[in-house]
Structure 1
Amino acid sequence: MRFNHAKKNTIESELIRLTSLILLSSIILCTIISNLILYKQNYENVKRYNNDMLEQISQSTSSYFSTINLVVYNFVCNQQAQYYLIQARKDNSPTTSTISYLENNLRQISYALPGCSLHLFIDNPSCPPIYMEDPSLIFTPGYHFKEDSWYQEFSKIPENQMYLVTTYEDRHYYINQTEGGITIIYRIRNNSNLNTIGYLLADIPGQVLQEKLNIRNQPRFYLKIVNSEQKEILNTLPPNENGKLFQMTVYEPFTSWIMTAYTQNDNFNTNSTMVMFSNIFCAFLVGTAAFLLSVHFARSLTEPLKVLTASMQEMETGTFGNLIYCKTDNEIGFLIDQYNAMNQKIRDLTQKKESAELAQKDAQITMLQNQINPHFLYNTLEMIQGIADGPSSLIIKNCCNALSRMFRYNLKGPHIVTLEQELQHIKYYIYIMELRFNHLFQAKYQIDETLLRYKTVKFSLQPFIENAILHGFTEHQLHGVLLISVSREVDGRIQILIKDNGYGISSGTLGKIRQQIHSTDTQNYVKKEYGSVGIVNTHQRLLQHFGDEYSFYMDSVPQKGTTVAIHLPRIL
């Protein structure tokens, strides 16, 4: 079908108008982006400044603590100092010369570490703490350093660790503990046997720490340092500081500290922010107008495409032949005309294809049924031959009667039957097999009679029962049980369960059967272990008829039996 249009317009004119609006919007967007770039540049500058400062502070920290460690190391490892330290550790009452020597050494160390307080604790209850004169330092009578929390914390670390950095709050011998700072605890060991002689504590006040880290005179720069346990070591950020602060955090590996830098930029917070928001407000007003105009033109352009898209979505669901009526006088109108013609052709071809597929499906079902009939006939004649060798003519009569009913069931009627008819056919078959194998097994039935009126495919159960008997009970001892159950599943489907307590199937054979069942080749099945040709053919017939609503499950345990579960939809 073709539509005739009195006037032919082009999409080009409409796109020109739309492009003009896009260009205007792009100018506004560029203005906004330029402001954001200025903001980002300023931010990067502050970030770079913070990064440089933190790097400098980190280097200063490493250098300062390396200096402290070197000074302390030279003291504790000095041969003469070791002699006096060991004497102070051994003597019940250290001599005045020993104490005087150690005090002089502490004084020499303090010259190299200005602003720091040094305290020497000998691991000897008779030796009092050795320290420089400090009015804020008071030891109570009976004081021993092992009562302090710093010792409790330090005693938990490995013996080979030389020092530990902690905060002022972890030692109790100072009266004034408000200035902040850190304490470095050094373990003093005997050079010969590595036994602990005592401990040297270096108290570094917060002001000294700021000076050594080069942050005392940095304008608009603040630093906060915490240790790995989130205990605050240093914080130069005023509590009443206002304004936007740029924050950056780094990890200092030498001391395991976490350093956070704060920087304020008032000029950026005032001028740049005001200009940026003014531009954004103006751009918002102009952009809103451009957006409304763009929506108007875009709708006039895309409305026919929406109609075309809706029709294509209907086509995806299998609905063909619905023509589109849309008043559009441009190239899209011509496209819709061509689409309508294509839609009609697809509808005609689809109908032809569906008819051909239906005929092919009927042919496949007939082929699969014809494949199973010779297989069943051969096995049944073999059973009758075995029964005819016996003395009882009544048994032969009943067996022939059952066989005739089975063949009448096979030759007459459609290939779709009720479950009741299929189960009656199965009972005839099981009767013959019980006679053939001299009642080697016993059949039990658990049937929900409300489900017998629903449909199934003819000969859909016999192959599974035949395999259960021939491969489960032929060499089995007496008291074999074959259970046939028909019940309703939770999802409403019918479950047919065929279960035996026979020999079972090995995992390798079971895997081959499952592989053949899931194969897409329905023409060239080769009979293998456990008679899989009958199972595969029946599976294909059920799948052809019921589709995805049908499912099949087969499991087996050697020496315990095999279970087959068939799930069918309830179809009247």
Structure 2
Amino acid sequence: MMTFQQKMITAFLLFVLLPIMILGYISNRISTDTLQKTISSQTVQTLRAVDSNVMTALNEVHHFSDYLLSSGDLQSFLMSHEEESIIDLYNRRQAIAGIMYDNAEVERILLYSWSGELLYQSNDRNESEWSLSSKAFMEEMKQAAGAPVWLGPSPEAKHPFQRESGFQLIHGRLINDVNTLDPIGYMVLSIKLEVLDDIFASSGPIPSTELLVNNKGEIIYSVNRKWIGRRMDTASFEKVRSSEDGYMLDQWNGEKSLLTFRPSDFKLSGNENVWLVSIKPWDALSGDIDYIRNTTVVLGLFAILAAVLFNFLYLRRIAGFIQLMSRKMKEAEKGDLSVRMRAYPLKELNGLSNRFNEMIRRIGELILQIKTEEEKSRQAEFKVLQQQINPHFLYNTLESINALAAMNGQKDISNMTINLGRLLRISINGKYEVSISQEINHVKSYLEIQQIRFEHLFTYSIEVEDTMMNELVLKLILQPLVENSINHAFHEEKKGCIHIIGTRNGSTGYFYVQDTGKGFPRNVLERLYEKRDGTGKNGHGIRNVHERLQLYYGNRYGMVICSSEKGTTIKVSFPLAERDG
């Protein structure tokens, strides 16, 4: 289970560091996407301009080839090739060569008959190498009906016009008779790639590479000729080919780059599409984004450092204070009010510590005050109960003495006077407890007096264990019970017996007061059991005895009453000192 200190530091990291990292990540993503979109949007505009310039350069080649096709020397050369003399044929060849030299971007001219036989070439290579062997190219020039057909550079020499010295664009057209418009042959021009170099040269502050890519993902033009023929990554090219304008981040030449692309108006043989692709190194573009990322990382590290310092300089003190206070409070809950918090250098913690100590001190004082007041209240109540001696008993006794005196019964008068004196001595005694032997003597005196008064209406017996005689017991607990039996259990027609038994069980003593009287009525017994109350005439009564026992000894002790038509038994329990054996 995590400690309070660990919970606090975890919460700090979650609610402070984590939002910083998430905010930095989101800011970096938004900045990256925005930068990509902005740069790519600008690059697409640039590619449109590049494409326009490419088409302008290629249209100049178209215009040049139009001029060649309409040249009288070229027309005459193709239509009268076999009939002219060697001198005329030589002169026409020289005229054609002169036309080619007017355009420095054209590297060579190839002229073919309608059947595909090579009739003229502007260099000295073997004629068989320049035969128009590509039937597909011938058919496409026928279908174009005089419109230009282009072949891109082929590093694998897939067409016969590729030279070992470098890459060229191949421009082919069907030649028609200017008078009859009947096809009379084919013209193939080999165009130097330098015609596009000025267009694709990068002059911006950010290094950039622009490419022409064919429908197979092969690069057909690049200022860096080493890249011509290289294939783009399949997944990347599929995205290029499936979109009009777009951009993506991808690896290029071993580094992360932003690729922006758009389709070109330039078409290759077979109406093959060509794409313009601009490649910019991402590191050169993302300087500001890297700054945001690095700033986020620095802020994260700073937050971690702040968390560590916060933990050592402040959090540990607070956590230690809270844990110590929690431990002290648990000790106080168990009743130890001597606990105190120590002083702390932090003003707030020291204030809490002092208030805790003051609270515990005040609680101790209040508990002591309550105990004192409760003790005083208990003693006062006990004194009131203790002093509730029934005055009617004294009145009745005096009346009996008076009656006996009138009858001159000196012996009975003497006995009653002696027993009355014993009763008064114990009752007036200010001590709460007396020995069991004194309590027994007290109840004997009371019984003797009552036997004389009621003319031996009852008999009694007392059996108490000798080991109990010197033990202390609350005084005046047996006399009210015996009085209850005498007053309510017997009647003149039937005499009864009162039997008092005293026993012990370990540290608990028991008195049993039994009588053979008529017992309590059920409703009176229920009321007695609920309230421990006596009858209306028994003000001192059973409730007095029960309440005094519980006030003095606690709720564990008191009385239990059992009654029937055959008699009543009252059980009294009270504490005794432990005895070994």
TM category, shorter? 0.3 to 0.5
TM-score of the pair, normalised by structure 1:
0.44
TM-score of the pair, normalised by structure 2:
0.43
Which of the pair has the greater relative contact order for Cα pairs under 8 Å at 6+ separation?
Answer: 1
Structure showing greater radius of gyration is: 2
